[in-house]
Copies of this chain bind each other. A is one copy, B any other.
Amino acid sequence: MLNLILCGGCGTRLWPVSRSLMPKQFAPLFDGQSLFRKTVVTNSAVCESQFIVSNADQFFLAKDQLEAEGMTESKFLLEPVGRNTAPAIALACLNLDPETIVLVSPSDHVIRKKDEYKKVLLRAEELAKADNLVTFGITPTNPETGYGYIEADGENSECVKRFVEKPDRATAEKYLLSGNFYWNSGIFCFKAKTFLSELGKYSPKMLAAAKKALANAENVDGEPIRIDREDMLAIPANSIDYAVMEKSNKVKVVPSDIGWSDLGSFDSLYSEYPHDENGNNVNPRHIAVDSKNSLVMGSQRAIATIDLDKMLIVDTPDALLVAPLSSSQKVKKVVEELKERGSDLINVPQTVSRPWGTYSVLESTERYKMKRIVVKPGKRLSLQKHLHRSEHWVVVSGTATVTVGKNVFYVRPNESTYIPVGEVHRLQNEGKLPLVIVEVQVGEYTGEDDIIRVEDDFHRA
């Protein structure tokens, strides 16, 4: 079985932990581990390989996290713009042997009951082998109004009667009682060819456009497949549910009591964490005075609380969120407000991931900006120049190979160098350990967009 992982998701449901450049599925929510990593590890119990569909920003996040799990052979397809799930799955399936059994999974959900999940996957595989399109119907535990439902043809039946939209509260309560309604988990299993033939039947234009896009795509061995922007936009945007599942008569549902959660808000995250004797999540930075049943996230500063009950505190280097846990669905209102204010806080985290490593802005003023830059072993930044800022680099760990103009030289720990305005330069780590430098930018303008890339290892020049 192959695990087709969809990495979409704008990433603001768990703001300020998640941002569009560090969406929920890649954020280190579980002792430094992400949902994405949990997903690939869980599915690797049944799947031998991974195929990742993501955008260019998320490519390096996904690649790094797969490599951290020792998975270096995964295939990638990069969408220049998202067109919902059906085109993503179609583009992937068109790249596969038609007989491949594909497990489509989002990367931002948790599954607690691993053994049960494995059983369910094996049953799905059987059904997929018999040319079915298999959905996983999560046994509902509450009258949830935030999910779509799948109605089975009787209790514990694998035959699907219909897909239904997010219900209102009263309807959801009826569904919960009836016993043959399941949450639509967004997990699917089928042969590549079954999906493609059903897609051809019900959304032929999408299939044709996807084929055309793939024919034009940049497709070099060992590199991610890169779809052209115009080709991608020519594919009709639609979900797999609308485009295929709700229409096909080959759909089956596997009832799945697998401890599934989509972690749609902080209160669901709270219930995933271990708690101390007061019902607070375990956090060494938390100084709790008469406080209980609260989720206190944050690893840098001391967080003192007094007389709190069922509260949510999310502390990040550049933004703080405080709310009752029961109001955590309303985070979207904060995100909307930030969007209206034109704030970049919904997009950019303090530590920004780049293909070559990370940078963190430690202080930013009109006249200067201070960054910590970490370059991964064997990586280098683009050959670049800036028109408005000079840069001072102090190496604090590792050895930097620095290009300034025509000179190339080493800068060692406790040594520094200087890049004048307008000078072409490059920072490289040829070593075996991470290179850490402190950068002080001085100039009339220190925005990230003052960068002219002359040459780049990562398609950004």
Contact = CB atoms under 8 A, between A and B. Distances in A.
Interface string A380-412: 000000000010101011000000000000000
Contact of A324 (B307, B315, B327): B307
Q: Give the number of times this chain occurs in the complex, counting copies.
A: 2
Contacts of A307: 323-324, 327, 330
Contacts of A311: 322
Contacts of A323: 305-308
A208 interface: no
Interface residues of A, number: 55
A290 interface: yes
Contacts of A334: 287, 289, 304, 306
Nearest to A324: B307
A332 to B, nearest CB: 10
Q: How would you classify the secondary structure of chain A's contact residues: helix, strand, loop or mixed? A: strand
Most buried by B among A301, A313, A319, A372: A301
A77 B367 CA distance: 40
B322 A304 contact: yes
B333 A306 contact: yes
A276 to B, nearest CB: 15
A313 B304 contact: no
A303 B287 contact: no
Interface of A: 16, 287, 289-290, 298, 301-308, 311, 313, 315, 317-324, 327-328, 330-331, 333-334, 337-338, 341, 343, 345, 362-363, 367-368, 370, 372, 390, 392, 394, 396-397, 413-414, 416, 418, 436, 438, 440, 442-443
8 contacts: A16-B302, A303-B320, A304-B321, A306-B322, A313-B320, A313-B322, A322-B322, A367-B397
